[in-house]
Structure 1
Amino acid sequence: MKKKLLLIVVILLAAGAFCLFQIKHFAASHLTIREDTLFTLPAGTGRDGLKIALSKQHIVKRTRWLPGLWLVDPKLANFKAGTYRFTVGMTVRQMLELLVSGREAQFSIRFVEGSSLKDWLAILDQAPYLEHSLRDVALDQLASRLGESPSTSLEGRFYPDTYLYTAKTQDVALLKRAEQRMDSILEQVWHDRAEGLPYKTPADLLTMASIVEKETGEPDERAKVASVFINRLRLGMRLQTDPTVIYGMGERYRGTIGKQDLITPTPYNTYVITGLPPTPIAMPGLAALDAAAHPAKTSYLYFVASGKGGHVFSNNLASHNRAVQQYRESVKENNGQ
């Protein structure tokens, strides 16, 4: 009888050792994925649900050892719902530790300088894993969704940058983050602006920055472009900047503007109106904001594309007309005419 009991104990110990070895081996084994994989664990999923999901999605082999691993290391069973990124070479233990940590996969969305609110909404609409709540919201209703007065213009109010988010983040939450960043940056830029600028409010500076953003992408030109418009404002001259005309045309713009467009009144046509347009025309970046806040000290009143990259700046109409003629000749040469 004693021998039988001893034999049973030996068998049980051997079986236990074998199982423990298999569990440790299983925990150290790699996931079967061949590329980084996104895995969503719905809220309320239990151990059996996770086991089934990992098996169905061919992420883990021999899931039968999962209960044993949870028994040996119970903390690995405290997983959290979310969307996670499993990477090639990750072990089963590392995967479970990730699920326990709650460190969900990060997605990125990029809003570029000079883009419009309409552009932003289109980018948001295509962003994966976002919770879309703005697809059927009209532009004139968007301000209310952001907690603003319905009459508030949102153009230019969002800071262009790359934003990270996790799955099921609301699109409106991303816009609020971008709005708060622009408010914070604009407040600082306004506080640090040069003295004597013809702005009444930070909104004026923001509008000027949006025009500078649309006029040039050359870093060393932004402050000079800003100086042209500042000098014109001080003299009471119209800004006469094409990007504002294009913005005012809206859907009528088809890639070119003609003489008729320059004389057709819109609230944004700075060939017709005096002073700044009523709102920004795009989302300016920090460089354009700094240029609007610290324009170069020049006597320039005009600029035109050089045809070779950049612009030619002039302080009188005669010089400007010559620069325009040189630009036209450069275009003809480039077109082989």
Structure 2
Amino acid sequence: MDKVIEVRELRKTYGARVAVDGISFDVYEGEIFGMVGPNGAGKTTTIECLEGLRRPDGGTVRVLGMDPHREGLRLRQRIGIQLQEGSLPDRMQVEEAVKLFAAFYPHPADPQGLLERLGLTAVRRIPFGQLSGGQKQRLFIALALVGNPKLVFLDELTTGLDPHARRAMWDLVREIRSEGRTVFLTTHYMEEAERLCDRVAIVDRGRLVALDTPERLIRSLGAEHRVIFTADTAFDPAPLRNLPGVFRVERIGERVVVYGQGDRLAAQVVEAMAARGIAIRDLRVEQPNLEDVFLALTGRPMKEASGSETPLEGGRP
């Protein structure tokens, strides 16, 4: 596959604070590439350097073979950008905004077709200030796609959306990729990256700490699966410790947690309980995820890492 983004030793500082500290990675044509990490990790600064909105202090960046800073005008004819904090005049109507942005490009998409595809036809006459959060995000995606870009940047696309609207955005991102476009997205939602991305770059405090597919990153942990269920308090869970792949068993009142590994861990637990005639309730399986990967790599949970960061003066990392 062809490289659409090449980054080598990218560095960006704001005064004495280093926002991006020597990051290197490639993005390939046709993939959904995610940059994930807590607020303040350097994601937005990185994506803005790629878009040509910020000038790096060091390193090299090539996007579609171009230098974003020196060839920004030509590059922005071929990319689509959804900013983390985008806005439009409150009185500007949806259809008016899409037609205006279409006029900026030599070969734009059909505005009416774009509105229909993104579910905005019914609100095409509605002013921007009256749109819901999900409708605004759909409009920003329409504006990012109106130039028929080869590469689309989505910065914290689903922040502030409810779960239903967030999943609708995920479907739109997959649809964009299915059209043959490359998607570069940033997010601090690890579940979002795990569900959407072909490859993930995990960043923390301006540094790249891991880069691979979500599946390989999770598998590299060798972490435990957890089988959790409720059983009668008279039940003795000790025999479950002898099942293949089981590391340990914990019990708190009626709640039992079995820790272990293996594709049949949950099935073995259920079979063992059924063989003893013990009824179980509220069974669920918890698998390792990218949150666990971040914790293993940094020693901090994502929520704690996000809470420890503060915005930078003169830039938003």
TM over 0.5: no
**RCO comparison, higher one (Cα < 8 Å, 6+):** 2
Q: Which structure has the bigger radius of gyration?
A: 1
Q: TM-score range by the shorter chain?
A: under 0.3
User: Which has the larger share of helix?
Assistant: 1
Higher strand share: 2
* TM-score (norm. length: structure 1): 0.22
